[in-house]
């Protein structure tokens, strides 16, 4: 049985890696200004060594200033949101939990909107998003522990409450923002988009996301202990407190950075980990890599639909909500007995 499970995991990972490479190449090629794979390869080589220029200046500008930053961030943000959602679900021992449900997204959105209002740079926007996202998660977790009722229901209700408070704060920031400059920027950003991203945003986004991903990938062997009772884990000689803190910090950093560079892109952190769990099970050693690859593939597909389906770009948050909201309703209905709703 273990051999079969291991073989299944290797098959899933192999398929997802091939799918991710295929989607990256297709995404770089497709667009209103199409590029060939040969042209893309030569453009990459031109940044490493001397290559005879066979492309136009327009092709080079579109590839490096428009196409590459957007596609790179789509893969990174999809991977980051999926991994953070899987971590939150494991830490709270509830597959209905995500960065959207427990207030992390609302807190990060408020922090990023505040950064835009204050006119700070991209790096400081990420820091502001991280601080308020961490604050939201901490408040939700403390309130859910205080409640003596059903902890799952308490977690969802406290997440809704804290999320509403931060959403109200974001609405107030929109009210006092400059209607000619800051308000359109905040409004469009809240709908989620990767349009107009630069290589600098790709660089700092990649650095922060890797800082959050690498510790989680390295600790995924121990993260299964977070799904156990705390006393049971301590009896095995494992300090759960420091591990839980690292997971919270890294997952919140992934959420905050993703929202800071792409705006509000909801539901990925709920839907993708659940699909990954159906494929490879709940073991974090397999769940995190699967969620990372599947999330990257999913957001690449959604972003291609966003920029190619119509003349005007469709915000990513709208497309992901069309998938995520019905699926969350399905999860609630399937677990209604255990939640005592």
Residues in CB range of 121: below 8 A, 6 or more apart:
none
Mean pLDDT of 226-232: 70
Q: Does pTM surpass 0.85?
A: yes
Instruction: Round to whole Å and give the CA distance between 145 and 214.
Output: 29
Write the DSSP string, 168-201. HHHHHHHHHS-TTTHHHHHHHHHT---TT--HHH
118 φ, ψ (degrees, to nearest 5) = -80, -10
Higher local confidence (pLDDT), 299 or 59? 299
In angstroms, rounded to a whole number, what is the distance separating the alpha carbons of residues 232 and 243? Answer: 15
Tokens representing 112 are 């990023």
Residue 63 per-residue DSSP state: I
Candidates 64, 100, 63; CA nearest to 81 is 100
Q: Mean pLDDT, to the nearest integer, of 194-221?
A: 91
- Determine what percent of the chain is predicted with pLDDT higher than 90: 34
pLDDT digits 0-9 by tens, 81-98: 999 999 988 887 777 777
Domains of the chain: 68-339 (1.10.3470.10)
Query: For 98-134, how does the pLDDT look when each residue is reduced to its tens digit (9 = 90+)?
Result: 777 778 888 988 998 998 899 886 667 778 888 898 8
Distance CA 144, CA 92 (A): 10
């Amino acid at each position: 049985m273990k051999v079969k499970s291991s073989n299944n995991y290797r098959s899933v990972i192999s398929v997802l890696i091939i799918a991710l490479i295929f989607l990256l190449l297709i995404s770089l090629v497709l667009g209103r200004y199409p590029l060939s794979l040969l042209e893309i390869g030569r453009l990459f080589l031109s940044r490493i060594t001397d290559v005879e220029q066979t492309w136009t200046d327009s092709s080079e500008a579109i590839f490096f200033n428009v196409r590459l930053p957007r596609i790179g961030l789509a893969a990174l943000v999809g991977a980051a949101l999926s991994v953070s959602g899987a971590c939150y679900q494991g830490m709270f021992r509830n597959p209905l939990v995500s960065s959207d449900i427990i207030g992390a997204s609302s807190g990060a959105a408020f922090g990023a909107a505040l950064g835009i209002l204050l006119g700070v740079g991209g790096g400081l926007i990420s820091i502001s998003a991280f601080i308020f996202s961490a604050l939201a998660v901490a408040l939700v977790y403390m309130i859910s522990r205080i409640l003596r009722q059903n902890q799952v229901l308490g977690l969802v209700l406290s997440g809704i409450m804290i999320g509403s408070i931060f959403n109200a704060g974001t609405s107030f920031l929109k009210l006092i923002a400059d209607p000619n400059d800051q308000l359109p920027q905040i409004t469009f950003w809240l709908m989620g988009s990767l349009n107009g991203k630069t290589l600098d945003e790709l660089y700092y986004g990649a650095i922060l996301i890797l800082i959050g991903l690498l510790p989680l990938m390295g600790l995924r062997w121990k993260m299964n202990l977070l799904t156990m009772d705390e006393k049971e884990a301590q009896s095995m000689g494992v300090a759960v407190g420091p591990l839980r803190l690292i997971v919270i910090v890294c997952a919140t950093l992934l959420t905050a950075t993703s929202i800071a560079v792409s705006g509000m892109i909801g539901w990925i952190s709920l839907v993708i980990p659940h699909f990954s769990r159906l494929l490879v099970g709940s073991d974090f050693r397999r769940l995190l890599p699967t969620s990372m690859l599947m999330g990257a593939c999913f957001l690449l597909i959604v972003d291609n639909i966003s920029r190619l389906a119509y003349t005007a770009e469709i915000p990513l948050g709208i497309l992901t909500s069309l998938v995520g909201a019905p699926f969350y309703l399905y999860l609630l209905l399937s677990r209604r007995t255990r939640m005592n709703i």
